[in-house]
């Protein structure tokens, strides 16, 4: 539900976690999410997203949800800035290569 570019996602190796209680908790969460993925996405995530972005301000629980449109806008700004920075770095590297 929160927009994150794939390039910024880091996978967590649950087996590498030393705290057994925490590892068990994460494994239980993974099992639950996988088992209920479709229901969570269609019945809950999409409904909340539509309600929040359609300004259903009379629904109380929406007051404690994030501003999805703002997060989407900020993600696009981040990607644009990252592209500019990476482009400048690449341009600088290209320039150095040609000066040698």
Domain-wise residue ranges, the chain: 6-99
91/100 Cα distance (integer angstroms)? 15
Task: State the chain's mean pLDDT as an integer.
Answer: 81
The per-residue pLDDT for 24 is 97
Q: Is the pTM of this model over 0.85?
A: no
In sequence order, the 6+-apart residues with CB closer than 8 A to the CB of 23 are: 14, 15, 17
47/65 Cα distance (integer angstroms)? 12
Q: What are phi and psi of 18, to 5 degrees?
A: -75, -35
Tell me the pLDDT tens digit for each residue of 35-77.
999 888 888 888 888 888 887 878 888 888 888 888 888 888 8
Structure-model confidence comparison of residues 66 and 31, the more confident one: 31
Percent of the chain past pLDDT 90, that is, above it, reads 28
């Amino acid at each position: 539900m929160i927009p994150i570019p794939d390039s910024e996602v880091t996978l967590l190796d649950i087996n590498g976690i030393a705290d057994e209680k925490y590892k068990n908790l994460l494994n239980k969460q993974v099992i639950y999410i996988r088992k209920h993925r479709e229901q969570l996405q269609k019945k809950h995530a999409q409904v909340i997203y539509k309600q929040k972005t359609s300004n259903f301000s009379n629904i109380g629980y929406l007051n404690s949800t994030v501003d999805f449109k703002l997060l989407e806008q900020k993600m696009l700004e981040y990607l644009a800035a990252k592209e500019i920075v990476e482009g400048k770095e690449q341009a600088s590297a290209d320039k150095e290569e040609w000066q040698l």
